[in-house]
Structure formats: C-alpha cells, structure tokens
Amino acid sequence: MEIIPTLFTFHYSFLISFCRGMNLEKLFGSKTKVDILKYLLFRRQGVSMRALESEIERTFPAIKKQVDSLLEAQVININKEGQWRSITIKPEFHENIKNIFYFWLKSDLINLFTTYEVMIDQYYFGKKFNIDLEMDLVVIYKNCEKPQIDMIKENINEIFRKYFIEIVSVVFMNVEERNKRDRLADRFVIQIKKSLISKK
C-alpha cells in the first residue's frame, strides 16, 4: 500500500464510545465470513472459492461453509460457467454492506489515533470516506520524531491491509506547518475546513 508522507484529528468521541466492545466477527458470526466480505468489497469480486482459499488463507471447507451461509442469506450471487464459480455481492446489498465495513474501518483508525493522542493533534477523513478532500486521510502530528511517525504510518497500513485495501493516500503534517499554511490561506487547508463544514 502506498502512503504519501506527510495532514489530519477530528475527535469523534461519540463514535469511539459507540464502537467500544463491538466487532465485525460478532456481527457476522465468523472471521472467515468477514474476510470473504472484505475481500469482495475492497479487493475484487467475481472470484472463486479456490481463489479465496489462497487469498485469505483459510481452508476450503471453512470458506465453502461461509459462502453457503452468505448464499442462503441471499447476500451473494454465484455465477456458474462450466467448472468456474464466480462469487459476487448482490448489487442491492453492496453499498449498504460496504458502509458497515467503512464504519468499522473508521472506528479502527479512530482507536489507533486515540492510542497516539499525545502525538496526534488532529485527523480528518477524506475521499475514501465520501468526504470532499483530495486525500483519503490527513494526520496532523505533534511532539514526535521520524521513528514515531513511521510507526504510526505502519499501524495505519496494517489497518487498511486488514480490509484488503492496498492503495490509500495519506498526508502527514506537523502542527507548525499546518498553522503556517492556515495563516497563508493555503488551498489544501481551506479544503479541509470546507470538508468539516460540509459534514454538519
């Protein structure tokens, strides 16, 4: 996954408290099922069970059990062409399920930023979260050096990889630079402010 070095903390304290104690595995009843849905939502659709076996590193019987469960729930389609079985999420459910997973992705990131709240001043979610920003995520940091910044970047990478998202644009900016660009009416900083207004 590509991370573009260097701007975002918007503190969603209500979301943190709401998500505490919740997880996708409990909601869907199986980690394998969650990983299948993540793969179909964020990596690619139209895959076979054998491909899923390789990609999400689960046994074929475990994958088949959860695929059968999703099929019984009428969440997925399985298109048959000869020996090939192509699995897709039904269009009428795709966006709603994706929104659920983005909710948890956001809560995972918020929990991470809360862990580093001494070093992270602000964060803002961008285009991947349907916010009008050029980047997917902006992190404004303070009181930390390059090793700590690299550690936070790797933690962010790990969270996105957990959702099978390989490419994400993230901007890191220190507080001093943000304040300077704010005084200069920098276009990017203005865009961040507008994105906050648009969410109200």
> Domains of the chain: which residue ranges?
13-20+101-199, 24-93
- How high does pLDDT run on average in the chain? 84
Compute the distance between CA of residue 29 and CA of residue 191 in angstroms, rounded to an integer: 40
Res 18 pLDDT > 50: no
pLDDT at 86: 93
Res 1 pLDDT > 70: no
pLDDT at 24: 83
Question: End-to-end alpha-carbon separation of the chain, Å?
Answer: 31
pLDDT at 200: 42
Residue 137: name the closest of 116, 113, 162 by CA.
113
Return the SS3 of 94.
Answer: helix
pLDDT at 15: 45
Residue 107: name the closest of 159, 153, 158 by CA.
159
The fold adopted by the segment(s) 24-93 is: Arc Repressor Mutant, subunit A (1.10.10)
Res 3 pLDDT > 70: no
Please state the rounded mean pLDDT for residues 155-174: 94
Residue 6, Cβ density class (10 Å: 0-12 exposed, 13-18 middle, ≥19 buried): middle
Res 172 pLDDT > 90: yes
User: How would you classify residue 40: left for phi > 0, otherwise alpha for psi between -120 and 50, otherwise beta?
Assistant: alpha
Residue 74, Cβ density class (10 Å: 0-12 exposed, 13-18 middle, ≥19 buried): exposed
Res 20 pLDDT > 70: no
Res 110 pLDDT > 80: yes
Q: What is the CA radius of gyration of the chain?
A: 19
| Helix orientation angle between 31-38 and 91-115, rounded to the nearest 10 degrees | 110
Are the C-beta atoms of 172 and 153 separated by less than 8 Å?
A: yes
Q: What is the distance, to the nearest Å, from the Cα of residue 183 to the centroid of all Cα atoms in its chain?
A: 32
- Band of residue 84 on the pLDDT scale cut at 50, 70, 90: confident
- Band of residue 22 on the pLDDT scale cut at 50, 70, 90: low
Return the SS3 of 180.
Answer: helix
pLDDT at 41: 95
- In this structure, the dihedral spanned by the alpha carbons of residues 188, 193, 194 and 195, taken in order and rounded to 10 degrees, is 90
pLDDT at 13: 47
